[in-house]
Amino acid sequence: MAIRGKISLPGDKSISHRALMLASLAGGESRISNLSTGADVQTTRKCLEACGVIIEDNKNDVILQGGDYIDPDQPLNCGNSGTTTRLLLGLLSGQGINATFVGDDSLSSRPMDRILDPLSQMGLKSESKNGKLPITINKSTLCGIHYESPVASAQVKSAVILAGLGAKGKTSIAEPILSRNHTEKMLDGLGGKVSIDGLTTAVSNLMSPLTPFKLSVPGDPSTAAFFAAAAALVSHSDIQLNCILINPTRIGVFRALGSMGINVKYLEQWEEAGETIGNLNISYQPMKGITITKDEVPGLIDELPVIAVLATQANGKTIVRGAEELRIKECDRIHALCVNLNKMGAEIEELDDGFIINGPTPLNGAEIETFHDHRIAMAFTIAGLVSEGDVVLDHPECVSISYPEFYKELDRLQS
Ligand code: S3P
């Protein structure tokens, strides 16, 4: 069995969330195609609709009327989605909305004080359960601040920027390492006043609505990474990933695959709506272990679970440090990797801020605890391609958070 063929992925999850939110700030009708098919993006859509935004499906596109927001009459259910919660906390605070945010057990255990701290410095009045959901925001007048973010987080940066659009004066945020930059890029393209100086992004109050837009969301590189990893793992594999977002803040995984010895070829590349998109070819080669340092982590944070799976089949040590943020994702991903890779017979050492894997080791089939985390489920499905015996996931359905079509497409590419 090898992994071969061509695949196009649904739209990038990060850009899909932002496209819906920014279209809601536009003065007229926007049309978005190739939106992410994942449940998280549907969650953002439902929350915006609950705030009075009119969103309709038209064939495969979504049409959205920007305009005024209303206070939702029910709590906003953010499900499993950290991006929905954190970005909407910023956006709706800036728009003077009264709302309560709730979520599932995983989301309710994740830190939201990283958003409430800067927003309260801007003047937001809110209540939370020790910095976690449920959170209630109360209509407040926000004033611009300069915020030095202690974490390299695009969600923190985006929340502050979106709040800044409704704040008096100028709002700026500096981050320690560059995180994904889609919010600032999109805003800049749509008439928002954005200035970027190194690691500092500044915005001003949006005096007039953003320009309505048409956007085809480029394919999600974080989802593409699982297919790239499958091709890297299974001998004789060769796949083409079409129309993938290749923004430099998102393609750390492809850099890492290249350093491991995998053939990663960029075929055509082009620009659309300020983002770079490309077709990539990935083919099998024996792999060697690599070291991933703190500076590289934001560029591949969501891909570390599948990189860990690859590391079990690479020659030598793979060392990942500076990745403590993994502990507060949809689950504690360092713990989830250690528990499950140990079950499969891999050699993994747990660190506070990462892990060390010594490869190569044969992998056994095992019963995998997904912790209801889509990226853990997908990473261990990929591990199952080379395991001796079956990998059985406790909650396979959780892949629908980002990519409901995952198993079907993986089956299609196996020959
Ligand atoms: C995201 C940013 C990242 C990432 C998440 C999506 C975004 O989180 O892990 O899946 O769309 O802004 P952090 O910003 O918290 O690192």
CB atoms closer than 10 angstroms to residue 24: 26
CB atoms closer than 10 angstroms to residue 188: 17
Q: Which atom belonging to ligand 1 lies closest to the Cα atom of 157?
A: 14
Q: Which of 155, 184, 249, 331 to mutate to test the pocket of ligand 1 (most atoms within 8 A of CB)?
A: 155
Contact between 246 and 224 (Cβ < 8 Å): no
Ligand 1 centroid to Cα of residue 402, in Å, is 13
Q: Which atom belonging to ligand 1 lies closest to the Cα atom of 302?
A: 9
Q: Which of 40, 83, 173, 326 to mutate to test the pocket of ligand 1 (most atoms within 8 A of CB)?
A: 83
What residues line ligand 1, using a CB cutoff of 6 Å? 14, 83, 153-155, 158, 179-180, 301-302, 325
Q: Return the pLDDT at 140.
A: 98
**Nearest CA-CA partner of 242 in 275, 222, 220, 271:** 220
Paired strand residues for 379 = none
Q: Return the pLDDT at 177.
A: 98
Mean pLDDT score across all residues of the chain: 98
Using one digit for the tens of pLDDT, what is the confidence trace for 109-126? 999 999 999 999 999 999
Ligand 1 centroid to Cα of residue 332, in Å, is 15
Q: Which atom belonging to ligand 1 lies closest to the Cα atom of 13?
A: 11
| Architecture of the domain made up of 7-204 | Alpha-beta prism (3.65)
Give the confidence band of 197 by pLDDT, cuts at 50, 70, 90: very high
Q: What is the mean pLDDT of residues 207-217?
A: 97
* Rounded distance between C-alpha atoms, residue 207 and residue 14, angstroms: 26
The set of catalytic residues is 302
Paired strand residues for 23 = none
Q: What is the mean pLDDT of residues 11-17?
A: 98
**For ligand 1, atom 11: residue with the closest CA:** 14
Q: What is the mean pLDDT of residues 132-144?
A: 98
Ligand 1 centroid to Cα of residue 82, in Å, is 8
Q: What is the mean pLDDT of residues 77-97?
A: 98
Q: Is the pLDDT of residue 300 over 90?
A: yes
Q: Which of 180, 187, 245 to mutate to test the pocket of ligand 1 (most atoms within 8 A of CB)?
A: 180
Q: Return the pLDDT at 4.
A: 98
Residue 23 is encoded by which pair of tokens?
């279209």
**Nearest CA-CA partner of 373 in 396, 349, 406, 348:** 396
* Rounded distance between C-alpha atoms, residue 370 and residue 267, angstroms: 35
**For ligand 1, atom 9: residue with the closest CA:** 302
Q: Is the pLDDT of residue 67 over 90?
A: no
**Nearest CA-CA partner of 368 in 351, 381, 386:** 381
* Residue recorded with tokens 């990745």: 323
Ligand 1 centroid to Cα of residue 83, in Å, is 6
Q: What is the mean pLDDT of residues 194-221?
A: 97
Using one digit for the tens of pLDDT, what is the confidence trace for 352-393? 999 999 999 999 999 999 999 999 999 999 999 999 999 999
Q: Which atom belonging to ligand 1 lies closest to the Cα atom of 18?
A: 11
Q: Return the pLDDT at 226.
A: 98
Measured between alpha carbons, how far is residue 353 from residues 32, 328, 338, 346 in Å?
38, 11, 13, 19
Q: What is the mean pLDDT of residues 341-351?
A: 98
Instruction: Render the burial of 127-148: b for 16+ CB within 10 Å, e for the rest.
Output: ebeeebbebebeebebebbebe
Measured between alpha carbons, how far is residue 33 from residues 64, 371, 379 in Å?
11, 32, 28
Ligand 1 centroid to Cα of residue 314, in Å, is 27
* Rounded distance between C-alpha atoms, residue 105 and residue 100, angstroms: 16
Q: Return the pLDDT at 415.
A: 82
**For ligand 1, atom 16: residue with the closest CA:** 153
Which residues of the chain does CATH 3.65.10.10 include? 7-204, 218-414
Distance of CA 183 to the CA centre of its chain: 13
Q: Which of 12, 13, 14 to mutate to test the pocket of ligand 1 (most atoms within 8 A of CB)?
A: 14
**% of the chain beyond a pLDDT of 70:** 100
Cis geometry, peptide bond prior to residue 248 (ω within 30 degrees of 0): no
Ligand 1 centroid to Cα of residue 363, in Å, is 30
Using one digit for the tens of pLDDT, what is the confidence trace for 162-196? 999 999 999 999 999 999 999 999 999 999 999 99
* Superfamily of segment(s) 218-414: Enolpyruvate transferase domain (3.65.10.10)
Dihedral in degrees, nearest 10, Cα atoms 37, 40, 42, 46? -170
* Rounded distance between C-alpha atoms, residue 404 and residue 36, angstroms: 10
Angle ∠(100,399,48) on CA atoms, nearest 5:
30
Q: What is the mean pLDDT of residues 300-324?
A: 98
Ligand 1 centroid to Cα of residue 89, in Å, is 15
